[in-house]
Amino acid sequence: MKKKTPYSLAVSMLVLAILACSLPGSNQPTQAPGEPMTSVAQTVQVELTAASSQAQVVIATNPPVLITAVPGVTLPPNPTAPPEPTIPAPTSITTPCNRAQFISDVSIPDGTNIQVNQPFTKTWRLKNTGSCTWTSGYQLIFDHGDQMSGPAAQPLTGGAISPGQGVDISVNLASPAAAGTYKGYWQIRDQNGVVFGTNTGAFWVQIITIPPTPTSAPAGATIVIPIPHLTLVIPLPTIILPPPVGMMPAPLVPSESGSVRADGNTILAPNVGDTDPNLSQQAFVSFDISGIPAGATVLEVKTNFGDFDQLGNAFALGCLRMYHQNYGAVDPSDFTAGAPLGSVARWCSAGELSAISAMPELKAAIQAAVGHPRARFRVQFNDTATNSNNSADMVRLGSGIKLLISFTP
């Protein structure tokens, strides 16, 4: 058994003496029930002074007592507080200048039935969700699809639509002359020419045109109204009926169609896009319209280009456009570089190309060709001639594509 040193005995005796002074019965103030006994020694803190190698014993009484002890006391180091956590600064989000949100169709919901050749007004309710104010410099513009006699562009508003405000936008249209389903897409253009739509892209109007309801009897008929003791016979005037409407599919003439590459090579198939060596390729298509009699009035032209397939991702090159071009035999001189204006049809996705769609600009081109056996066109991607990915991105138009032409003799 180890002997206690005089220093350790002195420390022990002094601690016991101080603790005895703090025990009940000593001359200490009386404490209320439930209060902590602060006068009783609760903590003994021992610190080692590095310079003298002496130990200090602190008795946590009230007031505290400090005792200097003998060398040789081994004490644990003081605990170190953990570092404060770092909170990242918030990241700011920038709202784009031009952005819109579609709210509702105020008039003419999708699928509304309208008689042929009837004017109507389409109204959309939009909200400015961008950071810029819409002013009178902003315009509502026709984007693609069925224009339905609407303007190419018109002012969006006569005032100012601040961010967060809503606005009703109207455009005057007219239903086409032939029965069917029609859909026109519209967008917004700012004063700098930047075009944008809503949170779902271009917004649209879609209607179903129906023939007028007959309100008259056949020519030469009579109406007999029986009245007691009286019969009235009322003759009706002769009714002149409008001329019949013809509908004719104009098929592709494969032997007069083909394609030309940017290097001058001529291909028999009407393929359009770019090739593995990154050469732009344009298609040339000829349609047989010999069934339309001379002097006929063209009422409507629809494209039926569903007979196609793709190599790669052709529509990554942009929108596919068709131009009226009275070429002869397909040769390198027919290739047209750049991004020309005046297209008569446009498709910006494979889904649009698959749909049977009315093309108002194409109607004028067919009307100009009435009396001739053929109507010929050039088809090209002019947003991007090639994406230079060393892989063919091509739309291959099949021999089954055609035009659907409505006319009166």
pLDDT tens for 310-368 read: 999 999 999 999 999 999 899 999 999 888 999 999 999 999 999 998 999 999 999 99
Q: Output the six-digit token pair for 8.
A: 């350790």
Per the model's pLDDT, the better-predicted residue between 27 and 178 turns out to be: 178
* Percent of the chain clearing pLDDT 70 (strictly above): 70
**The token pair that represents 222 in the structure block:** 């009579």
In this predicted structure, the answer to whether residue 38 has a pLDDT above a threshold of 90 is: no
Highest mean pLDDT: which of 59-68, 124-133, 333-342? 124-133
- Asked whether the predicted pLDDT for residue 30 surpasses 60, the reply is no
Place of tokens 């315009």: 139
DSSP secondary structure code for residue 239 in this structure = P
Asked if residue 195 has pLDDT above 70, the reply is: yes
Tell me what pLDDT residue 89 has: 56
Q: What is the pLDDT of residue 68?
A: 53
Q: Is the pLDDT of residue 161 over 70?
A: yes
The Cα–Cα gap between 121 and 178 comes to: 19
Q: State residue 319's pLDDT score.
A: 94
Q: Where is average pLDDT lowest: 90-104, 127-141, 248-262?
A: 90-104
Model confidence at 82, pLDDT cuts 50, 70, 90, reads low
In sign, the C-alpha dihedral spanning 150, 153, 158, 161 is positive
How far is the C-alpha of 347 from the C-alpha of 327, rounded, in Å?
22
Query: Band of the pLDDT at 21, cuts 50, 70, 90?
Result: very low
pLDDT above 70 for 128: yes
Task: Tell me which of 351 and 79 has the higher pLDDT.
Answer: 351
Q: For 259-262, which contacts have Cβ atoms below 8 Å and span 24 or more sequence positions?
A: 259/283, 259/284, 259/330, 260/284, 260/330, 260/331, 260/332, 260/334, 260/335, 261/335, 262/335, 262/337, 262/385
Q: By three-state DSSP, how is residue 20 classified?
A: helix
pLDDT of the residue at 12? 52
Residues 6+ apart with CB under 8 A from 301: 358, 359, 362, 363, 366, 403, 404, 405, 406
Q: What is the pLDDT of residue 147?
A: 96
Rg for the chain (alpha carbons), in Å?
A: 45
Query: φ, ψ for residue 8 (rounded to 5)?
Result: -65, -35
Instruction: In whole angstroms, give the CA distance from residue 239 to residue 220.
Output: 8
pLDDT at 354: 92
Q: Which of 29-43, 241-255, 393-407 has the lowest mean pLDDT?
A: 29-43
Give pLDDT, residue 35. 47
pLDDT at 406: 93
CA distance linking residue 149 with residue 207, whole number of Å: 14
Selection from 311, 277, 280 nearest residue 389 by Cα: 277
Measured distance CA(278)–CA(385) in Å, rounded: 9
